[in-house]
């Protein structure tokens, strides 16, 4: 420590004192939880033994029930205290890794002295409930992210509070060691950010809690609106902002929201593994992670074309046709389980005809399903009285009777035999009601093919038709996040917006990274969600933090970036792009081997980084692997990114990821012609690089790079 710096000495002393308190909290909570667990177990045993069940009379029954209620209340109290202590211990353990990362000095009122507020990944108070560290999601922490010295403000409980920010200090802290501090005012002087940008790639995405910039913070702390559409340039931190937004929502809605009510759609499985440590590092659970294929499979449509290329016109045609749809007997199927027909197609047809007067839609489905469940109940009740099914139930051995029916059948009581047989039938045909609710009685494929005059339905068409008919998808989702939204077709987004009709959406993407034909433009995306959710707030992220100025200069020339784009400067000097056009595969292979050897040599030293050879498609990836004698692995979707070394990835799989060095081995005029799509693909490939990009071609290099 530099003892000549009084601020450093003072801040280290504060850190030492706080760290000592955190260690004390940890030890006390650990001991208390262990003690309370043993005490609770002993108390509950004692109280249970004191209860003497007596239901002989009204007074005795009331006393027994009161005693049981008292025991339940004690159990609830123990559980609540246990949960509180476990949550506090979780926060303490999180803070022991880094107690805080910033401090603001705020003058709350002109006539009062300023006070220091320390900001960390979690909030903690002392025994007197005085804040020691405030959570970065706490409203007062907004003064740090505003990056405005002097008069600033934050919103608490819907009210704007204006304060004077006298000091904004950042810390480089690891456990109880203060390595450095920085007093900063505006983004370009953000020392923590600049330090972070100098670091090499890691195999997992890291939280940006300490380095959230002002424009990012506006997205993270944005009002809870039906739909927020974020259009951000490459390297602007869209994915990190999305994860911080999830953590922010979980914090502010902790009493009513859990991670299982948040759905996150990601580009691929590699990307899912890349981000899976961010939220746990902030003390929050991961949301429900999906790719489009995962979603389709969960909805029972995974055995067909996934519908990623289905045109929106097909879905609009279904919308137009649904009003005049007539369901015939041929469109129905019986409810059958284990070769037993529970409801015939004819019986279902009579119910359908009865309710079809309402038109085919949600009301029709609700009425039809209700009556089909009633008929199923009557059918099972009739079967329970039949000799055949009663004999089957009584034919179960004793062990099966206890396991399935809960008791041994009393063969002397005919009413009991019928009741037990019904329980047996309910067990055998437990899935029949679910089949009714899933509309398995409706031949959706047949109906949809007739409406569209097609021989097959894609997953997108099938799911949309189901939504039009039943009017619901899921009601348990509160928030849906879609990363790389520019890669979704209009039809896919129409399905998701309707399926999650009651959820709020955060849509993030870059219109310049739409790397395949037929995807929705940002205007189309906005129009789709305005139709289903009404309000769509649009935000922009215009600063790139990933790439060096040298790399940024390459990809920014490929597309129109706009005059308002700001480029973040990094202290670590980037390397000038390397280019090479070769006449034969052998020359290309030799150049690639040179790059691979250099990357591996760095990985063995103290400059470890990850080099990615980004090929345009899978065929090109395996061609490059063969040129390199299969010495460099092709990353597969079930694998995770390595921390260092060299890997071959396809452009599709590289989406959303970043690498120290990106090598584009097929930057030739054939692979990347002068077309809008090729420009976006090359922009995407180059912008994966943090520090260096190498452009190789076999034959003439693409004119896009001239």
CA distances from 60 to 47, 51, 73, 74, 278 (A): 18, 12, 20, 21, 56
Contact criterion met (CB below 8 Å) for 158 and 194? no
| Three-class HEC string of 486-528 | HHCCHHHHHHHHHHCCCCEEEEEECHHHCCCCCCCCHHHHHHH
DSSP 403: I
Q: Consult the annotation and say whether 302 binds a ligand.
A: no
SS3 429: coil
Q: Consult the annotation and say whether 232 binds a ligand.
A: yes
Q: Using the CB atoms, write b or e for 123-143: b if 16+ within 10 Å.
A: bbeeeeeeebbbbbbbbbbbb
> What DSSP element (H or E) covers 611?
strand 610-615
Cβ-based neighbours of 466, under 8 Å, separated by 6 or more: 439, 444
- Give the DSSP per-residue string, 657-677: --EEEEEETT-BTTTS-SSHH
Contact criterion met (CB below 8 Å) for 641 and 274? yes
- Give the DSSP per-residue string, 97-113: H-S-SEEEEEESSTTS-
From CA 652, how far away is CA 487, in angstroms rounded? 10
Ranges of H-type helices in 98-156: 142-145
Contact criterion met (CB below 8 Å) for 340 and 429? yes
* Best CA proximity match to 325, nearest among 183, 476, 446: 446
Contact criterion met (CB below 8 Å) for 651 and 684? yes
> What DSSP element (H or E) covers 342?
strand 340-343
From CA 214, how far away is CA 348, in angstroms rounded? 59
Bridging pattern class, strands 689-698 and 610-615: unpaired
Q: What is the edge-to-edge ordering of all strands in the sheet holding 659-664?
A: 578-582, 689-698, 659-664, 610-615, 645-650
Cβ-based neighbours of 545, under 8 Å, separated by 6 or more: 193, 197, 213, 235, 236, 237, 568
Q: Consult the annotation and say whether 234 binds a ligand.
A: yes
* Best CA proximity match to 237, nearest among 264, 212, 254: 212
Cβ-based neighbours of 151, under 8 Å, separated by 6 or more: 162, 163, 164, 165
Q: Consult the annotation and say whether 586 binds a ligand.
A: no
Q: Using the CB atoms, write b or e for 153-164: b if 16+ within 10 Å.
A: ebeeeeeeeebb
Q: Consult the annotation and say whether 521 binds a ligand.
A: no
SS3 647: strand
User: Sign (positive/negative) of CA torsion 497, 478, 539, 546?
Assistant: negative
In the chain, the N- to C-terminal Cα span, in Å, equals: 51
For 182, what's the count of Cα atoms within 13 Å in the CB-facing half-sphere? 19
Cα 174–Cα 179–Cα 185 angle in degrees, nearest 5: 105
Q: Consult the annotation and say whether 123 binds a ligand.
A: no
Binding residues: 232-239
Binding residues for ATP: 232-239
């Amino acid at each position: 420590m530099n003892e000549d710096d009084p601020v450093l000495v003072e801040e280290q002393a504060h850190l030492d004192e706080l760290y000592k308190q955190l260690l004390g909290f940890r030890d006390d909570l650990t001991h208390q939880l262990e003690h309370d667990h043993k005490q609770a177990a002993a108390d509950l045993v004692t109280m249970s033994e004191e209860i003497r069940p007596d239901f002989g009379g009204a007074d005795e029954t009331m006393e027994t029930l009161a005693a049981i209620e008292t025991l339940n209340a004690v159990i609830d109290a123990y559980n609540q205290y246990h949960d509180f202590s476990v949550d506090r211990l979780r926060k303490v353990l999180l803070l022991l890794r880094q107690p805080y990362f910033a401090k603001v000095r705020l003058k709350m009122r002109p006539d009062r002295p300023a006070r220091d507020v320390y900001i960390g990944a979690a909030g903690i108070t002392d025994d007197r409930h005085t804040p020691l560290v405030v959570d970065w999601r706490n409203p007062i922490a907004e003064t740090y992210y505003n990056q405005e010295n002097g008069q600033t403000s934050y919103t608490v409980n819907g009210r704007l509070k204006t304060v004077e920010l006298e000091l904004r200090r950042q810390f480089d802290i690891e456990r109880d060691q203060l390595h450095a501090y920085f007093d900063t005012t505006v983004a370009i002087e953000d020392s923590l950010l600049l330090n972070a940008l100098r670091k090499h790639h890691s195999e997992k995405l890291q939280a940006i809690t300490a380095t959230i910039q002002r424009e990012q913070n506006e997205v993270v702390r944005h009002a809870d609106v039906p739909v927020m559409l974020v259009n951000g340039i490459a390297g602007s931190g869209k994915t990190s902002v999305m994860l911080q937004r999830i953590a922010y929502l979980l914090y502010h809605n902790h009493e009513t929201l859990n991670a299982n009510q948040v759905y996150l759609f990601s580009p691929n499985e590699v990307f899912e593994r890349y981000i899976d440590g961010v939220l746990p590092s902030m003390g929050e659970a991961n949301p429900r992670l999906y790719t489009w294929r995962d979603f389709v499979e969960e909805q029972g449509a995974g055995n067909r074309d996934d519908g990623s290329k289905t045109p929106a016109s097909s879905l609009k045609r279904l919308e137009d046709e649904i009003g005049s749809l007539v369901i015939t007997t041929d469109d129905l199927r019986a409810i059958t389980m284990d070769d037993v027909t529970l409801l015939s197609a004819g019986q279902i047809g009579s119910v359908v005809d009865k309710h079809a007067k309402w038109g085919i839609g949600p009301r029709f489905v609700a009425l039809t399903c209700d009556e089909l469940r009633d008929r199923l109940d009557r059918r099972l009740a009739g079967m329970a009285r039949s000799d055949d099914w009663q004999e089957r139930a009584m034919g179960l051995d004793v062990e099966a009777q206890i396991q399935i029916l809960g008791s041994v059948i009393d063969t002397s009581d005919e009413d009991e035999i019928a009741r037990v047989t019904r329980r047996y039938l309910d067990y055998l045909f437990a899935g029949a009601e679910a089949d009714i609710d899933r509309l398995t009685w409706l031949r959706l494929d047949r109906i949809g093919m007739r409406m569209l005059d097609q021989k097959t339905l894609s997953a997108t068409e099938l799911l949309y038709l189901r939504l039009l008919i039943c009017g619901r998808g899921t009601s348990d989702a509160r928030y849906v996040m879609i990363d790389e939204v520019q890669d979704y077709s209009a039809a896919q987004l129409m399905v998701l917006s309707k399926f999650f009709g009651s959820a709020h959406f955060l849509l993030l993407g870059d219109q310049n990274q739409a790397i395949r034909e037929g995807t929705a433009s940002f205007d189309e995306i906005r129009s789709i969600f305005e139709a289903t959710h009404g309000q769509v707030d649009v935000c922009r992220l215009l600063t790139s933090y990933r790439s060096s100025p040298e790399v940024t200069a390459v990809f920014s020339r490929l597309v129109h970036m706009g005059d308002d784009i700001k480029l973040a400067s990094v202290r670590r000097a980037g390397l000038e792009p390397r280019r090479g056009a070769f006449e034969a595969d052998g020359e290309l292979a030799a150049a690639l081997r040179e790059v691979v050897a250099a990357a591996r040599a760095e990985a063995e030293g103290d400059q470890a980084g990850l080099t990615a050879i980004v090929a345009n498609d899978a065929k090109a990836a395996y061609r490059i692997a063969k040129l390199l004698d299969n010495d460099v692995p092709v990353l597969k979707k079930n694998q995770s990114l390595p921390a260092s070394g060299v890997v071959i990835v396809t452009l599709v799989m590289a989406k959303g990821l970043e690498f120290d060095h990106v090598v584009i081995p097929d930057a030739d005029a054939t692979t990347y012609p002068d077309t809008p799509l090729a420009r976006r693909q090359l922009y995407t490939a180059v912008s994966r690089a943090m520090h260096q990009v190498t452009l190789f071609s076999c034959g003439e290099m693409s004119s896009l790079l001239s």
